[in-house]
Chain A
Amino acid sequence: MYSRNFGYTKDHEWVAVAGEIATIGITDFAQKQLGDVVYVELPAVGTALAVHQTIGTIESVKAVSEVFSPVSGEVVETNGELADAPEIVNQDPQGRGWILKLKPANKADLDALMGASEYERYLEGLEH
């Protein structure tokens, strides 16, 4: 269910690395918890983020959720589609619903992420 190529965090973010760039978003579990997303607050391109630093907030009708950066790095791109169509986060959270891309500053941050099976086990633990 969860892509084997991504890394995951306990705060339900995913990271996909391609070459020098890491793409970040929230998982399907997170979007289900939030409900209909109506606003996504994003940082400016060029912002330097530290691990666990708040990237921004995702607001649904009934909740506000902070998104924490799973890795440290510099923001190189944010998902422009989310301003007019925030519901993409619900529809395709691990594809078109990506939030931002950054240049990871530290390889060790990537190694610290959970793999898909570990994340799935973590989710099972939450439901009990």
Chain B
Amino acid sequence: MKRTRFNANHRKLGAKMIEFCGWDMPVEYKGIIDEHLACRTAAGLFDVSHMGEIHVTGKDALAFVQHISPNDAARLSPGMVQYTALMTDRGTYVDDMLVYCLHPEFYLLVVNAANTDKDYAYICAQKDAFEIGLDDPSDRYSQLALQGRKAIPILQPLTDIPLAGMKSFTSAFGKVSGKECLVSRTGYTGEDGFEVYTLDPDPAIIWDAILESGTPRGLQPVGLGARDTLRLEAKLPLYGNDIDDTTTPLEADFKWIVKFKKGDFLGRDVLVKQNEEGIARKLVGFELFDKGIARPHYPVFVGGAPAGQVASGTFSPLLKKSIGLVYLPIAQAAIGTEFAIGIRDKRVRARVIATPFYKRDY
């Protein structure tokens, strides 16, 4: 199993470790519910070094990114970050990703841990005549996420980057705990916060420094268990559950990342057609109104008839009920529609509700 450069930090804290995509990762420390609520009320610190980073450099870097992504990377000046998809030529997802414009000839793509090798091979296969350099330095990167309303007071004493002035979805280079880092105002929890990337071979002191600064303010280390409950409350998709190579951004309710007017991109013609004809199914949020927890792959019934499976589902520590995401036929996708989910031998009642399930109030 691969280990991040913060592995000893997690073990010292007594984290429960699991294998995740070939990595030895913390799933929880104090407990999923405690960690989730700490992030929502103060802050949470996450080791996300398992994520993948891909470098696209050279003369045609922007043109190449425009080709593989449906969003408009031409709007990015150095320091700006954009959420988008890595597209198949069928308009479906190879992965979702963040695109960082670091320089007009240097784009950093941040991709899911589960897909890094697949994404890099796919990207290399799209190179054709583009004059670009491609590299996968994922193993040299370490990454931490600090998320929550107390993120700025916790991180500012440790860095020379002025954090309060950073707009959401922007990035800056600077020092954190004396180490050279790239810091962006991004995250996967629905809270304000920062992601800190470093190529420093010895970044463990950054973790300790953030914990020292943050613990008196309510900061807790957060594992993969709560990472999933947090992102689901914020209706952020997870590749493999909510999006994959059979779903389009239009069906997944991410029409905003598809900028038809920016020019051609992989899968554009399929998406144009789907946009004209209308989507046949839509990813919607639901809650259970009986007791139980809906989990991925549980069968879904609409009007008593089988209608697919739960995409993502969990118990929401904040809302204290089970929530999730499911693809429903467009005629049944309206808010308020009631349906059922098979949980072991019972049919539990659910209804479509508005998302995100949680929106921050600051």
Chain A positions near chain B (C-beta within 8 angstroms):
32, 35-36, 38-39, 57, 59-62, 64, 87, 90
B342 interface residue per 8 A CB criterion: no
- B16, B229, B291: most-surrounded residue (chain A CB, <10 A): B291
Instruction: List chain B residues, Cβ under 8 A from A87.
Output: 33
Can you list 7 pairs linking A and B with CB atoms under 8 Å apart?
A32-B16, A38-B293, A39-B293, A59-B293, A61-B293, A62-B228, A64-B293
Within 8 A of A (CB), among B268-317: 291-293, 295, 314-315, 317
A61 with B344: CB separation less than 8 A: no
- Separation in Å of the A20 CB from the closest CB of chain B? 32
- Whether B31 contacts A35 by the Cβ 8 Å rule is yes
Interchain CB contact under 8 A, A39 and B31: no
Which residues of chain A have C-beta atoms less than 8 A from B34's C-beta?
36
- Chain A's closest residue to B229 (CB) is A61
Residues in B lying within 8 Å of A, measured CB to CB: 16, 27-28, 31-34, 225, 228-229, 291-293, 295, 314-315, 317, 344
A61, B291: Cβ atoms closer than 8 Å: no
The answer on a CB contact under 8 Å between B344 and A36 is: no
Question: How far is B16's CA from A59's CA once the two chains are assembled, in angstroms?
Answer: 18
Task: Report the minimum CB–CB distance from A62 to chain B (whole Å).
Answer: 5
Q: Nearest 8 CB-CB pairs, A to B?
A: A36-B33, A61-B32, A38-B315, A61-B315, A36-B31, A36-B32, A59-B293, A62-B225
Interface of B is mostly: mixed
CB-CB nearest in chain A for B343: A64
B240 CB to nearest chain A CB (Å): 16
- Cα A59 to Cα B295 in complex, Å, equals 11
Residues of B within 8 A of A61 (CB): 32-33, 225, 229, 293, 314-315, 317
**Smallest beta-carbon distance A10→chain B, Å:** 21
Residue of B225, B291, B295 near A39 (CB, 8 A) is B291
A33: nearest chain-B partner, CB-CB:
B16
Q: What is the chain A residue whose CB lies nearest that of B228?
A: A62
The CB with the most chain B CB atoms within 10 A, among A59, A60, A62, is that of A62
Complex interface: chain A residues within 8 A of B16 (CB): 32, 35
A38-B314 Cα distance, complex, nearest whole Å: 11
- A39–B292 CB distance below 8 A: yes
* Cα of A70 to Cα of B206 in the assembled complex, Å: 49
Contact B292 A35 (CB under 8 A): no
* B32 touching A62, Cβ below 8 Å: yes
Whole-angstrom CA separation of A62 from B16 in the bound complex: 13
Taking CB atoms, residues of chain B closer than 8 Å to A38 are 293, 315
**B32 surroundings in chain A (CB, below 8 A):** 35-36, 60-62
Cα distance A97–B27 in the bound complex, in angstroms: 24
Whether the Cβ atoms of A35 and B344 lie closer than 8 Å is no
**Complex Cα gap A52–B291 (Å):** 25
Q: Taking CB as reference atom, which chain A residue is nearest B33?
A: A36
Expressed in whole angstroms, the Cα–Cα distance for A39 and B228 within the complex equals 19
Contact among B31, B225, B314, B344 with A57 in the assembled complex (CB-CB below 8 Å): B344
Min distance, Cβ B225 to any Cβ of chain A, angstroms = 5
User: Which residues of B sit under 8 angstroms from A35, Cβ to Cβ?
Assistant: 16, 28, 31-32, 225
CA distance A60 to B34 in the complex (A): 13
Cα distance A64–B32 in the bound complex, in angstroms: 15
By a CB distance below 8 angstroms, the chain B residues around A36 are: 31-34, 317
Q: What chain B residues lie within 8 Å of A60 (beta carbons)?
A: 32
Rounded to whole angstroms, the CA-CA distance of A102 and B292 in the bound complex is 25
Residues of the A chain whose Cβ atoms lie less than 8 Å from the Cβ of B315: 38-39, 59, 61
The complex places the Cα of A59 from the Cα of B346 at a distance, in Å, of 15
Given the complex of chains A and B, what is the CA–CA distance between A39 and B292 in angstroms? 7
Cα distance, A22 to B34, chains bound together (Å): 33
* A109 vs B291: C-alpha distance when bound (angstroms): 33
Note all chain B residues with C-beta closer than 8 A to A57: 344
| Contact residues in A for B31 (Cβ distance below 8 Å) | 35-36, 90
User: Given the complex of chains A and B, what is the CA–CA distance between A112 and B324 in angstroms?
Assistant: 43
Most buried by B among A32, A36, A39, A64: A36
Residue numbers in A under 8 Å from B292 (CB-CB): 39, 59
Closest to A40 in B: B291
